[in-house]
Amino acid sequence: MSQTPSAVWNNCLSFIKDNIQPQAYKTWFVPIIPVKVTNDVLSIQVPSKFFYEWLEEHYVKILRIALTKELGPKARLVYIIKMENTFGNKMPFTEKIPSSSSSSIKSQSIESPFSTFASELKNPFVIPGIRNLQIESQLNPNYTFENFLEGDSNRLGRSAGIAVSNKPGGTSFNPLLIYGGVGLGKTHLAHAIGVDVKQKYPDKTVLYISAEKFTQQYVDSVKKNNRNDFIHFYQVIDVLIVDDVQFLSGKSGTQDVFFHIFNHLHQNGKQVILTSDKAPIDMQDIEQRLLSRFKWGLSAEIQNPSFETRVLILKNKLYRDGVEIEDDVIEFVAKNINSNVRELEGAIISLIAQSSFNKAEITVELAKEVINKFVKNNRREVSIDYIQKVVSDYFQMDIQTLQSKTRKRHIVQARQIAMYFAKKFTKASLASIGTQIGRRDHATVLHACKTVDNLSFTDKQFRKYVEDLNQKLSN
């Protein structure tokens, strides 16, 4: 007599319930729905991909034992992920994923809308027939307008993004430059525009690329003597999305080729979307002719989200991940993590992890412990301007003196220390550091860092300078 999915799963749950903590059982097993059983294969429905990954990482052994007891040594488990894509969005999607707890299955077989995502451009310089050319968009389909929650901090950028996706190249927002600090959603919004364009205009060629990757491709094209093919490739794009365009700082060759590509696209009614960590007026070592192009369209700033927006972001993430947490805990996290969205979501994941590892209920008290540790372990990235101010104050000089051309020993050493800490505490390139600290080149910055390392080892007084400043910048 064949067993029903509910009967098989209920028997599994009886075993699982006796072997894990009640809180973990409530959080990770109660929401699961048995769907079907075929021979030795049980299919279960879970609320999200995050949910599935958590089960596979933390409960795979107990699942294997429970399933083997019910269906025999060849038992297999298949997850079905079916839920509403976002908070309030009524468009379900489904994934079927074999469990790694099934010993006969060594690799995952995923049927999902994400399977087309690729991280590398395919043959970017082979142009057989231009219009027939298949160009991978490099877009992440997880990043959509639906799960990019609107608030006062991002309303302009989101509204402009929707306008652009409705009529790419046909609005006054060309280029659309989205700028703001780390982790505020610039990349998410840029992808969302591209994803929406692809849905509305399947025939349009959309390409997302980081400025760093663009630069690498340009350098390769020069080495291989196919610079014209590189330019030709980018001139066939209908919607070009370039992330972290500030990375072009100090790279005159890349700026020159990007200038010509930009002009061609703009003149032919194509859409250009850029993201940056700063407004055009604050970009240093970018050619003036290129900066003027950046200002042609709309520059939309994304700021830190308000408390209300942070609460919505957390609720949306928890909803998508199929995890329930009390409102007072969510509000506590939102009040205490106000820097950016990335850290906000990281904090809630840490909280869920601590709850599971310590077999503790998710409460405000647990949130306090986790947030205190999380904030300490996520030291903010200080800016180059802030580093120069701290170093200048320490050596009792103004920033203009620090950046000056003088070769006086104590000023040179202060400048070298500032460059050293800029490399240590920021993600800026050597060229960008040099530009911002006295308009030096990257070789000067590299020499400065080596000098500081050497003097710290051989000069006791110099080492004290470095240790003092390191403590000031680390606090």
Q: Pick the range with the lowest mean pLDDT from 2-16, 83-97, 131-145, 181-195.
A: 83-97
Residue type, 463: R
Give percent of the chain above pLDDT 70: 84
Q: Give tens-digit pLDDT for 432-461.
A: 898 889 888 888 998 999 899 889 888 888
Q: Give 178 or 104, the one with higher predicted confidence.
A: 178
Q: Give 61 or 351, the one with higher predicted confidence.
A: 61
Q: Give tens-digit pLDDT for 272-315.
A: 999 988 888 777 778 888 888 888 888 888 877 777 778 877 77
Q: Give tens-digit pLDDT for 66-85.
A: 888 888 888 888 888 754 44
Residue 110 reports pLDDT greater than 60: no
CA atoms within 13 A on the CB side of 219: 9
> What pLDDT is recorded for position 117?
28
Q: Pick the range with the lowest mean pLDDT from 61-65, 178-182, 199-203, 398-402.
A: 178-182
> What pLDDT is recorded for position 134?
56
Residue 260 reports pLDDT greater than 90: no
Global pTM reads 0.52
> What pLDDT is recorded for position 224?
82
> What pLDDT is recorded for position 278?
80
Q: Give 130 or 222, the one with higher predicted confidence.
A: 222
Contacts made by residues 86-94, CB under 8 angstroms, sequence distance 24+: 86/144, 86/146, 86/147, 86/316, 86/319, 86/320, 87/147, 87/149, 87/312, 87/315, 87/316, 87/319, 87/320, 89/146, 89/147, 91/146
374: pLDDT confidence band, cut at 50, 70 and 90? low
Measuring CA to CA, which residue among 295, 291, 333, 338 is closest to residue 315? 333
pLDDT mean across residues, the chain: 78
Residue 321 reports pLDDT greater than 50: yes
Q: Which domains does the chain have, with CATH numbers?
A: 5-98 (3.30.300.180), 137-302 (3.40.50.300), 307-377 (1.10.8.60), 384-474 (1.10.1750.10)
Instruction: Say which residue the tokens 């506590």 belong to.
Output: 332
Name beta bridge partners: 94. 82
